[in-house]
Structure 1
Amino acid sequence: MAGSLEGKVALVMGIANESSIAYGVAKALKARGAELILTYQTEKTLKYIQPLFDELQPGITQLCDVQDEASVSELFAAIKQKYGQLDIGVHSIAFAQKDDLHGRVVDSSAAGFALAMDVSCHSFIRMAHHAEPLMTRGGTLLAMSYYGAEKVVPNYGMMGPVKAALECAVRYMATELGPKKIRVHAVSPGPVKTRAASGIREFDLLISNATGSAPLRELPDIDDVGEASAFLCEAGAARLTGSTFYVDGGMNILA
């Protein structure tokens, strides 16, 4: 709904290219009037996504490496200095080393598992830790998950347990932050063709099978995910928190 997020300040982390889920979310928030803060991981990354930033016209564009605490602290210091508040935080970041992702869970290395958990799960917790003092009038925190957190999805491998940890963290964070009217959700899209998804083996087969079996016989795109995510930030979702919110054509209801 146009203007439904007017006056809200929204941080979106994870735009990598025009097929990124984070880009779809940022567009939906922008269309509703939110002031955007967008991050990028490296100067090389910025070169490829600058046209998207030009389109979205964020109030702050800042480099942020979620594994570097100083980098994260600098980001939130910049937000505090310019706005003094934050209303929405969107975390659309995940990573696993290829050997660990493509191998069996039982063969995953301790270092690889720790890296995937740190980037894909704990960095969301760290984001919330920094966001909490700025959400003085309440707010919404969103993290992107996937059905492989709940059921075994072929070739999803180690990211399944990592995303399961993320969804569990969402529930605990929702309980802890609820008294401050800070709502926390995991958004769980069906398979979406993103750069990150291209690292999953036989991903085209996964897409084909999911499309054929989903009750709606179609899967979401980044704009569908963006619209659903924006809804969770609006007044109509003010009494919702702690959920895994599926945007998957109904796939999650199937055995």
Structure 2
Amino acid sequence: MTEIRPVLAGQKALVVGIANDHSIAYGCAKAFREAGADLAVTWLNEKARPHVEPLARDLGAPITAELNVTTPGQLESVFETITRQWGKLDILVHSIAFAPMEDLRGGLLDCSAEGFAKAMDVSCHSFIRMAKLAAPLMKDGGTMFAMSYYGATRVVPNYNVMGPVKAALEAACRYLAYELGGKGIRVHAISPGPLKTRAASGLKDFELLLNEAVEKAPLGELVDIMDVGWACAYLATPFARRITGGTVFVYGGANIRA
């Protein structure tokens, strides 16, 4: 690979959602780090910590913490640590999603109210809560990212409740881009092609989605986590200073096919 210039040197990035070295969030963190940014990395719980902490150490992340967005006070604690140690934030990555398995595996008609609310809170509203805490730290502007999927705008079999939830997330990105634009803060919904991540393993017939993506992509191949990471790194640089509010597909072009 061509040598990467430190175009993000001095930038401070919080990456939420790394589960292992196959995570989209890890691709983002690695790309940011190679471009010169300093990292804050979180893990979901003590069970996840042994898988994430070594990755954070390898990336030289000076700030690490446990973060379950459904646990009262944990999100605020992470931002208090960032405020105390850095006093600023330039980049925020929200790459978390959840729905109870019985609601995810069933059709939308059978999704419980409780399951829908849980999926919406973790997968969408937590990004809004993060944005509210991050915005005051982005004193010189910044960039926020939330991970979506093609199923937000098109029906993808077996994506079920996550389709409406991701549609809400993309709408939230547009409205946050509008509200925060005056502060120089840009907001992007990133829509990667299907990737073999732990989160994707919960979808029924996921291998069929992978095969279809390869067949439909004009580039003829699947994307990987670093494709997503480098797209986000570019969007975090001044080269993308006039881009905000849209959904950016990192899909090998498969999204243009009927």
Do the structures match in fold with TM over 0.5? yes
Q: CA RMSD in A?
A: 0.8
Q: What is the rounded CA distance, in whole Å, between the counterparts of 1:51 and 1:76 in structure 2?
A: 22
Equivalent residue, structure 2, for 1:244: 247
Which one of the candidate residues 206, 209, 217 is aligned to 2:209?
A: 206
Q: CA deviation at 1:51?
A: 2.0
Q: Within 5 Å, give how 1:69-88 maps onto structure 2.
A: 69-88=72-91
Q: What stretches of structure 1 of length at least 5 have no aligned partner?
A: none
Matched, 1:175 2:178: yes
1:118 equivalent to 2:118? Answer no
Summarize the alignment of residues 58-137 of structure 1 with structure 2, pairs less than 5 Å apart.
Answer: 58-137=61-140
User: Counterparts of 2:144 and 2:70 in 1: how far apart (Å)?
Assistant: 19
Per the alignment, residue 46 of structure 2 pairs with 43
Provide runs of 4+ in structure 1 moved above 4 Å. none
Give, in whole Å, the separation in 2 of the partners of 1:134 and 1:154: 40
Alignment partner of 1:19 is 2:22 = yes
2: distance between equivalents of 1:242 and 1:217?
A: 28
Deviations 1:157-179 (A, max 9, x none): 10000000000000000000000
Query: How far 1:124 moved relative to its partner?
Result: 0.4
Distance 1:54 1:135 in 2: 25
The answer for the alignment partner of 1:195 in structure 2 is 198
The offset of 1:69, in angstroms, is 3.7
Matched residues in 2 for 1:18 and 1:142: separation?
19
How far 1:121 sits from its partner (Å)?
0.3
Q: 1:230 aligns with which of 224, 230, 233?
A: 233
**Amino acid in structure 2 at the alignment position of 1:108:** C
Distance 1:185 1:21 in 2: 15
CA distance in 1, matches of 2:67, 2:106: 30
